[in-house]
Structure 1
């Protein structure tokens, strides 16, 4: 099974994913961003883009990487990754479904003021114009399709531990 943790940049996906992994027996974290980093390291570089998700190979490589890791290890993969383009999500989720891999899709949500505050005061990365730039695309995806597609965990007033527990409880209840 895959537990996909979606949400905008700064929502707490990485932190929450590590905590969810600790709560689910036999779980591992696979960050799909690492697949994008592999593509970014190709020399000479691939065509310029502001987001590696726009490169056609990224989506099938995420599917194939997850499939192969699960085939090798079994268990559960917890995958933190922002995916705000519906067709990209359909390609990834459809590819995983073709291999018979069940997906539990969660989105970490917080109100805009909370997200701005978290990004502005991030102790590790500091303020980030890249992360701020995704607030509106996230809000649009949330309205258009994302919140209807995923189990929404409103983290506005939750700690990462509480969000992780809510996700783990939901996964273990089914």
Structure 2
């Protein structure tokens, strides 16, 4: 099984993923961003883009990597990864379904002011134009398709531990 944690920057995906992994036996965290980083290291560059998710190989490799890891380890993969483009999510989820991999898709949501505050106050990654630039696309995706495709958890007034508990209860339930 895959527990996919979606949402934009500042929603708490990375922190929550680590906590979910600790609470769910036989689980591992797979950060699909690492697949994108690998593709960004190819020289010469595959093509100019502001987001590695626009490269079809990223989506295909995320599916294939998740499948191979699950074939090898079994258990649960916890995947903290923002996907805001509906056709990309459809491609990934269809690819996982082809391999009969069940996916529990959670969106960690927070209001825009909370997200901005979290990004501004992030002492690990710090604020960046890239992270702020995803706030409006997230809001648009949430309004148009994303929230209908997932189990939404409003993290605005919850600690990461509380969010992780809700996810684990949902997965175990």
TM-score, normalisation: structure 2: 0.99
Q: Name 1:157's counterpart in structure 2.
A: 157
Q: Which residue of 2 aligns with 1:119?
A: 119
Question: Distance between the aligned counterparts of 2:111 and 2:44, measured in 1?
Answer: 40
1:51 pairs with 2:66: no
SS at match of 1:21: helix
Q: Which residue of 2 aligns with 1:89?
A: 89
Hey, what's the Cα distance between the residues in 2 that align with 1:145 and 1:102? 20
TM-fit CA distance, 1:116: 0.5
Report 1:8-47 matches (<5 A).
Answer: 8-47=8-47
TM-score (normalizing by structure 1): 0.98
Match of 2:133 in 1: 133
**CA offset at residue 160 of structure 1?**
0.5
Number of aligned residues: 173
Q: How far apart, CA to CA, are the structure 1 residues paired with 2:10 and 2:50?
A: 18
Distance 2:10 2:52 in 1: 18
User: Tell me, which stretches of 5 or more residues in structure 1 are unaligned?
Assistant: none
Shift, 1:40, TM fit: 0.4
**1:57 is paired with a residue of what secondary structure?**
helix
Partner of 2:102: 102
Q: Matches of 1:157 and 1:9 in 2, distance apart?
A: 16
The answer to whether residue 68 in structure 2 is matched with residue 68 in structure 1 is: yes
Deviation at 1:163, TM superposition (A): 0.4
Gaps spanning 5+ residues in structure 2: where?
none
Which residue pairs with 2:167 in the alignment?
167
CA displacement at 1:143 relative to structure 2: 0.4
Query: Shift in Å at residue 126 of structure 1?
Result: 1.4
Distance (whole Å) between structure 1 residues aligned to residue 97 and residue 162 of structure 2: 29
